Structure 1
Amino acid sequence: MSLLADVYLALAGVVERLDEHDGWSATGCSGWAVRDLVHHMADDAVRGLVAVHVPGSGEPDRDAVSYWRDWGSDAEKDDAMRRATRAEASLRGWTQLRERHLEAAAATVRAYDSLAPDAVLTTQGHTLTAADLASTLAVEATLHHADLVLHLEAAPPTGAGLAEVRRVVESLLGRELAGWTDERVALVGTGRAAPTDAERSDLTGARVPVFT
């Protein structure tokens, strides 16, 4: 739970300093400006908050790693989501988008801080422990933090967040990427950066990106 707080609070620290001009800057997400990505990140925080109030029954069917195996498997659904996000973000002014994200992130951090790590929650048709769901939220927020600041002069993602992304990426790859920084594992492993020749050699036989 402390990881989620660390990642969300760092991201909020960046978002709260952005202005209307920044809202139209490009991001690492193709076709999305900062305002679109901030809207998407607010939606993800709200999803995490809703999950707190949707307890699951029985044993979880996903964990912090296996949750990502299905990610990006439905290209048509993903394209529809991207279009909807762009359209919905266009209906709000920048101040409203920013404040919605900050409020949702703060509420989600408070909610997870009060949960037992082994509580079983439901989201997106799957059940995970609260700790594993918090990890997935932190991983997505860390990657989108990197996307958000790509063309801005702003603080990068937290070290703890990048380390968690690395743990997930290497688990999905089934190998350790010795000599790589956490940032390179995160960016290359999720398709946000092209591998160098040396890195490509380390990835021989692996499917990359492991998710996007």
Structure 2
Amino acid sequence: MHESLNLLRTAYGGLSDVLSSLTVEEGWLPTGCAGWSPVDLGFHLLSDARRALVALNTPSSGPADTNAVDYWTAWQPPAPGDDEELWSTRIAASVHGGLVSIAGRYAEASAAVLVAAERVRAGELVRTQGRVLPVADLLSTLTVEAAVHHLDLVVHLDRPGPAGGPLAEVRRVLEGLLGRPLPAGWDDGTAARRGTGREPLSDADRAELGDDADAFPLFG
């Protein structure tokens, strides 16, 4: 089993455990995604797992046009006027049976992604969202997505955050986007939050980063 699959298995397992542990009341608390509750975020994660299933079953003859790092250059924080996505996610989530149903469907879909990933080689090319990339790189993007949203999910919850391996993968991608190491004083959770704009840079951060501070958030 290649390392990218091991990381995704860890990321999906931790996230599924948290989603399935939430009470109905906790499902309506805020998250790190402005305007989304755990119900909304859970539906977004379910949609991403379903997309992963499609991608793993959509081979491409290539050539690859992105990789695990460059993939994220297309994803920036929501701009003013992007409230439509927030509302459409909430509406869609509301017809999926609530938190318990969404958590169960996410557990099923994410488990199916892992089975599908075991059946393809790491270097095979697949297509997703109009891009072509190797399977191992796709799995990295899924791990990063899961780890960052795991952080979002537990902002106001007494639940464990993502495991060290997936968070280290987030840091690796952020450093690839920046083209240099992130500050050594940031642990991987801090790197994930600040690198994606979920936590503002301090004056000390900006002084250490210099002109590179203007590149933040590196994706969102």
Is this a same-fold pair by TM over 0.5?
yes
Mark the runs of 5 or more structure 2 residues left unpaired by the alignment.
none
What residue identity is the alignment partner of 2:139?
Answer: A
In structure 2, what is the equivalent of residue 190 of structure 1?
196
> In terms of mean alpha carbon deviation, does 73-82 or 169-178 score higher?
73-82
Percentage of matched positions with identical amino acids: 45
Deviations 1:35-75 (A, max 9, x none): 00000000001101110111111221000000001113884
In structure 2, what is the equivalent of residue 61 of structure 1?
65
Distance of 2:121 and 2:74 partners within structure 1: 26
C-alpha displacement of 1:77:
9.1
Deviations 1:157-200 (A, max 9, x none): 11011100001111111111233211111110100111222212
Distance of 2:157 and 2:77 partners within structure 1: 30
C-alpha displacement of 1:11:
0.8
2:134 aligned with 1:126, yes or no?
no
Distance 1:168 1:47, change over 3 A: same
Deviations 1:121-167 (A, max 9, x none): 10000001000000000001000000000000001111011100001
What residue identity is the alignment partner of 1:138?
Answer: T
In structure 1, what is the equivalent of residue 175 of structure 2?
170
Distance of 2:45 and 2:164 partners within structure 1: 19
In structure 1, what is the equivalent of residue 38 of structure 2?
34
2:12 aligned with 1:4, yes or no?
no
In structure 2, what is the equivalent of residue 24 of structure 1?
28
Alpha carbons 1:69, 1:211 under 8 Å: kept: yes
Out of 189, 196, 216, the residue aligned to residue 208 of structure 1 is: 216
Distance 1:74 1:35, change over 3 A: closer
Distance of 1:82 and 1:50 partners within structure 2: 23
Distance 1:62 1:208, change over 3 A: same
Distance 1:53 1:77, change over 3 A: farther
Secondary structure of the structure 2 residue equivalent to 1:12: helix
Distance 1:199 1:151, change over 3 A: same
> In terms of mean alpha carbon deviation, does 38-47 or 99-108 score higher?
99-108
C-alpha displacement of 1:102:
1.1
C-alpha displacement of 1:79:
4.1
Deviations 1:62-93 (A, max 9, x none): 00000001113884895433321111011232
Runs of 4+ in 1 over 6 A off after TM superposition: none
Distance of 1:101 and 1:78 partners within structure 2: 25
Q: Name the TM-score, length of structure 2 as normaliser.
A: 0.91
What residue identity is the alignment partner of 1:142?
Answer: A
Out of 122, 142, 148, the residue aligned to residue 143 of structure 1 is: 148
Alpha carbons 1:72, 1:78 under 8 Å: kept: no
Secondary structure of the structure 1 residue equivalent to 2:95: coil
> In terms of mean alpha carbon deviation, does 113-122 or 76-85 score higher?
76-85
> In terms of mean alpha carbon deviation, does 107-116 or 132-141 score higher?
107-116
Secondary structure of the structure 2 residue equivalent to 1:131: helix
What residue identity is the alignment partner of 1:127?
Answer: V
